[in-house]
Chains A and B, each alone.
Chain A
């Protein structure tokens, strides 16, 4: 093993590897930063070109693109409240509030550093315990997934803001939208009204661009027309920087989110889009200042970004150990590995250890590269916020249209985006929170699929959720968690009743 690692590092010394990696990272950051262009798309478009490259040029290039794109999504989320990728949607809430308060640089720096720490730790987990972790993850059957989705749905309470009822309504709308399309089990068409376009369902990314970006643009236009627009943004160079003391305060949040992201990433099917919200919701519950979440909390940015970036290396675990991709990006990467003659699966670790360890070492080194690229980029990026809105938003609008179209090369997705934009605007006006809708949309298909699979397995009996050790553990944990929440909510009332009696 030691000599494998040494020869692996020797492979990394070739400067071409670094050229390819930096090229991939830069391409990835740009793709991630443009709304609508996703990591999956970037890796899918670029991967055929790597078929002809050397293994240690092609794969670092693709892995760099993947990492860059997941990080890049947070940049427009912070600067213009428009998540570049679905995984950065949770970052927009706090990141943009910070930018509006003149702390754009600090928000960008927290996002970068949290991303890198999470990625680094998750990569170490991948290297050290990929095989045992994958062995646990693969025992997760449909009943465990169904329970996991139910637990994740409790997040709606955390992201609903003040008005839980409005949050629940929004979540229900999201769930209803997710039902459109083909039934995942039987293949019957649901709510398609005979339209071929609706058979594929409502695409997430165009809807997300509409809900967040287009509605933001409409709100801005309205404010500038009615003259309610606030003054120009504060010069970001005057704003605070990320200091070691600040970072130290954020470390518990980053570590917790890394754990969540790594755990979810190693389970096939739960991607960065869900992990960012779960990390954000958990951080809010554990925070001393939960009321700041959604209004510019530094912890919120750190939690969301650590949560989505930890998924990246973790998603490679099931792909490398079993040859089973956890999400669409790793599915494309799997193809690129195979085209290089590296067959991911149980035999990869014994058959090609040197290349594998070289790729692991590369994953660690690429974080250093991303850190340097990121800090260099932030110096210029923070100025975007000083561009007058009259110039900035038309350009963003063009990118939104191009991005929504590029997802599936489909004009219909632009209709989805516009509808999402109008809906998002209305929701802002009646102060109905948008995140619960997105979470409902993200979680409902997985919950439906795993619940129905479980019931097919058990022949319709609910016993399956308590007779399997994994599922039973989750049920007990969930019940304990709900009991704790109830106790914490009820306790202040009982105490105040007692004190009320003594004073009267």
Chain B
């Protein structure tokens, strides 16, 4: 009972801080690097609640205050497949008090292939939290059980292999476009808008393949209803040691879906470095690590300099994908 009361008291305190923060944010003041941060920081997730992004954001913002000296306020601004929240951050004051929780589709690929209100230059990288490869999966009662068999089947039956996709220029969409470009197989994707509906259409027998995050397909692999073919990374995943990396079995399909923090372009370098350090300390926090494990996720931290290098390379890679898929 006392335990609960304490927890509720802590929750109430956080709520009060959050309301005070909302007020404080209204009166914007020029930020100085040395006293940064002197007010709460808005942490914007551009996707709807319940997805893996908002789940990570919830954990990051709950555990952050001790390492930042100010609370991080989780702001969920979904809409337009991530465009609305991302645009809002891109157009906000570059003072380090508004951060975006981004990923490769909204930050690297889509600005290059769509006409959006922001570009890859609208942001500076702050820290990468982790990344995950996509896992290609097929139904265990389907006509093929390996990648070779699937590609052979697709070539024998051109246009008949229907796979579940997420969104145009989304994660699943991109890895399948890569696979099709590398193999020349003719397969058709149906966009279902997200991992949940996409995998349920596969399980229900309405489609034949899918590629997605372990949080979406892991349980179904374990229960035996889905068979993993390969992962879109340079090596196998720790959680699925028996599933080969796609390049190892002859399919050069590599795409790492990172989750990372970005700030609007023009944010002072010292503030970006300071934020990056605070995220690094947060990653070492035991409570944070425990919560990340409970959602079956991992940590693969990269500070602002390393993240900047990785991101620049990825933007180049995406340029290739954009050219390959623009048919």
Contacts and interface: CB of A to CB of B under 8 A. Distances in A.
B319 interface: no
Contacts of A331: 48-51, 196
Nearest to A410: B77
A201 B79 contact: yes
A466 B54 CA distance: 40
A187 B114 contact: yes
Interface string A451-481: 0010011010000000000000000000000
A467 B74 CA distance: 48
A53 B197 contact: no
B200 interface: yes
Interface in B67-96: 74-81, 83-84, 87
B196 A346 contact: no
A440 to B, nearest CB: 20
A32 B205 CA distance: 38
A142 B117 CA distance: 32
A186 interface: yes
Given A44-B49, A338-B55, A49 B7 contact: yes
A52 B78 CA distance: 26
Interface stretch (A63-71, A281-289, A322-330): A322-330
B148 interface: no
B87 A187 contact: no
B192 A138 contact: no
Contact of A142 (B14, B87, B190): B190
Contacts of A138: 200, 203-204
Given A139-B204, A142-B201, A185-B168, A345 B220 contact: yes
B219 A323 contact: yes
B191 interface: yes
A11 B204 CA distance: 35
Interface stretch (B33-41, B177-185, B277-285, B290-298): B290-298
A318 B206 contact: no
B54 A335 contact: yes
B295 A338 contact: yes
B79 A453 contact: no
Nearest to B162: A457
B190 A199 contact: no
Interface string A132-156: 0000001111100000000000000
A343 interface: yes
Given A200-B80, A328-B48, A331-B51, A142 B200 contact: no
Given A142-B201, A185-B191, A338-B296, A328 B219 contact: no
Given A16-B1, A346-B225, A325 B204 contact: no
B79 A324 contact: no
Contact of A409 (B77, B87, B201): B77
B11 interface: yes
B11 to A, nearest CB: 4
Contact of A335 (B55, B114, B199, B222): B55
Contacts of B205: 139, 141
Given A138-B204, A322-B203, A268 B197 contact: yes
Interface in B262-279: none
Given A268-B196, A324-B197, A339-B295, A181 B50 contact: no
Interface in A16-75: 16, 19-20, 40, 44, 47-49, 51-54, 57
Contacts of A459: 159, 188
Contact of B62 (A48, A139, A142, A181): A48
A184 B200 CA distance: 18
A345 B222 CA distance: 10
A339 B59 CA distance: 9
B83 A332 contact: no
A400 B206 CA distance: 43
Contacts of B167: 187
A328 B49 contact: yes
Given A269-B197, A325-B50, A52 B168 contact: no
A274 interface: no
A394 interface: no
Given A49-B11, A331-B51, A453-B190, A182 B80 contact: yes
B130 interface: no
A334 interface: yes
B217 to A, nearest CB: 10
A187 B203 CA distance: 25
A449 interface: yes
B193 interface: yes
A142 B188 CA distance: 15
Contacts of B54: 44, 332, 335
Nearest to B205: A139
Interface in B285-313: 291, 294-296
A453 B192 contact: yes
B207 to A, nearest CB: 8
A347 interface: yes
B323 interface: no
Contacts of B28: none
Contacts of B58: 47-48, 51, 335, 339
Interface in A158-181: 181
Interface in A401-438: 408-410
Interface in A300-323: 318, 322-323
A273 B81 CA distance: 22
A340 interface: yes
Interface of B: 1, 3-4, 7, 11, 14, 48-51, 54-55, 58-59, 61-62, 74-81, 83-84, 87, 114, 117, 159, 162, 167-169, 188, 190-193, 196-197, 199-201, 203-207, 215-216, 219-220, 222-223, 225, 291, 294-296
20 contacts: A16-B4, A48-B62, A48-B74, A51-B58, A51-B294, A54-B3, A140-B204, A184-B191, A184-B193, A185-B168, A268-B197, A318-B200, A322-B200, A322-B203, A325-B50, A328-B48, A339-B55, A341-B294, A409-B75, A456-B190
Closest 5 CB pairs of A and B: A331-B50, A200-B79, A345-B219, A141-B206, A346-B223
Interface of A: 15-16, 19-20, 40, 44, 47-49, 51-54, 57, 138-142, 181-182, 184-187, 196-197, 199-201, 268-269, 318, 322-325, 328, 330-335, 338-341, 343, 345-347, 408-410, 449, 453, 456-457, 459
